[in-house]
Amino acid sequence: MATTEEQAIAAIDAAEQLAIANVQLLRQMKKLIPKPFDVLTEPAIQIQTGIARGEAKLARKAVRKASPAVRRGRKNLSKALKEANAKLRKKNGQLKKGKTQADVMRLAQRLKKKM
């Protein structure tokens, strides 16, 4: 299963490919525009290509891989949630009387702190 970071980078890559495909479409449509306007259209297309690639590059940098401490914390919270659900739920999966999902999360956070 892909991590959130990998999914984000895949979405960024897809958006970049779509932007570049749009630029290629503009290049094909440029043939329909009269010759005197070529001086204006080609720089605009170049700028658009640069913007698409630059934005994708910045977005990829913003997506950082989770640090080992964060991954460890997530794993511990996952274990704590399993334990908290086991304590606060009946065998049929319903919450015990007077308990809410908020109680489950509070207990899980407390258990995670002890890990």
pTM for the whole structure: 0.51
Convert the pLDDT of each residue in 44-94 to its tens digit: 778 878 888 888 887 877 777 778 998 899 999 999 999 999 999 999 999
3-state helix, strand, coil in the chain (%, to 5): 80, 0, 20
User: CA of 110: how far to CAs of 82, 95, 105, 114, 115, in Å?
Assistant: 13, 18, 9, 7, 9
Whether the predicted pLDDT of 34 surpasses 90: no
Tokens of 25: 């479409």
Q: Which amino acid is at 42?
A: E
Report angle CA 63, 69, 70 to the nearest 5 degrees.
45
Report which of 56, 55, 77, 57 is spatially closest to residue 66, judged by C-alpha positions.
77
